[in-house]
Chain A
Amino acid sequence: MQKGDSGAFRHLVDTWQHMVYNTVLSIVQDIQEAEDIAQEVFIQIFQSIGSFRGDAKLSTWIYRIAVSRSLDAVRKSKSKKMLANLKSKFGLSDKEESAIHFYHPGVQAENKERSELLFRAMKKLPENQRIAFVLIKLEGLGYADTAEIMKLTIKSVEALMHRAKENLRKELTSYYYGK
């Protein structure tokens, strides 16, 4: 692949496409946007495979690109929404950004509605907690792998996960109690 072998690139895409797509989708929570970002991830891999020195596992390197691309997209979409809401408040636009319900395709039918609430609450988590939660709970990675991807210690990841669960619980509880 580092020698520009297109067959090797195809093999790489076939191997990692679901992993990349699932990670991106769980972070951006938009099916159309997730495919675009997943494509961008592979384009970046194609362009920068020469700089991959093999210090980390290939999967770790790919996860890092996927996470960083997804976070960029989330930041962009947040600022877009803020601008749209500001415009609507000042009467410059009729449309106000409304919350779009996201249903992850991998969730079992009986958990569909509940997981929708969870994904909505996840959006309010700080970036680091959100990434740790996605990698561990939705991608099924271990703490060691997550720590490697996030360039943190295992203890830091454990702390992030603890805080993420606490914050999610607070958010969901306030949803029911109206606090």
Chain B
Amino acid sequence: MENKIVPLNSGFSPDEEVDKILNSVQDIQRAEVPAFFYTRLEARMQKNFPGVSYGSLLTKPVFSILMLCLLLVLNITVMIRYIRSDERQIVNNTSEGVQVVAQEFNLTVSSVYNEKTIK
């Protein structure tokens, strides 16, 4: 700090002035951050950590598209499995029906042993 030499007969009291200087921050207000502080902070964070997301994940288009694709794949898989199990049931039901009809009309193929007993 450069010195400020004051003439003795100037009526100025350095001690009094020093007190005033020491008390100059008595009613100081808190300094406030410049406007758009958060925006600049967010930009800096995204620059420093590009892999980290600070906004809501749902608002990111890449995330939304990925979720949609996943949902579609799940739907298709479930549908395919459902159709396949239906087909199996139809096949089983048809073979059971044929057997019932055959028994009903005595269309079963008789074996050699059966013929012998008839005779």
Contacts and interface: CB of A to CB of B under 8 A. Distances in A.
Interface of A: 6, 9-10, 13-14, 17-19, 21-22, 25-26, 35, 38-39, 42-43, 46, 99, 104-108, 111, 114-115, 117-118, 120-121, 124, 137-140, 165, 168-169, 171-178
Given A35-B34, A42-B41, A107 B18 contact: no
A18 B32 contact: yes
A19 B55 contact: no
Given A25-B31, A35-B33, A174-B3, A118 B38 contact: no
B31 A21 contact: yes
Given A105-B31, A106-B30, A173-B14, A17 B38 contact: yes
Given A6-B55, A124-B1, A43 B45 contact: yes
B84 interface: no
A107 B32 contact: no
23 contacts: A9-B54, A13-B38, A13-B41, A18-B31, A22-B32, A25-B31, A35-B37, A39-B37, A42-B41, A43-B41, A105-B31, A106-B29, A106-B30, A108-B28, A115-B24, A118-B25, A137-B25, A137-B28, A138-B25, A174-B3, A175-B1, A176-B4, A177-B5
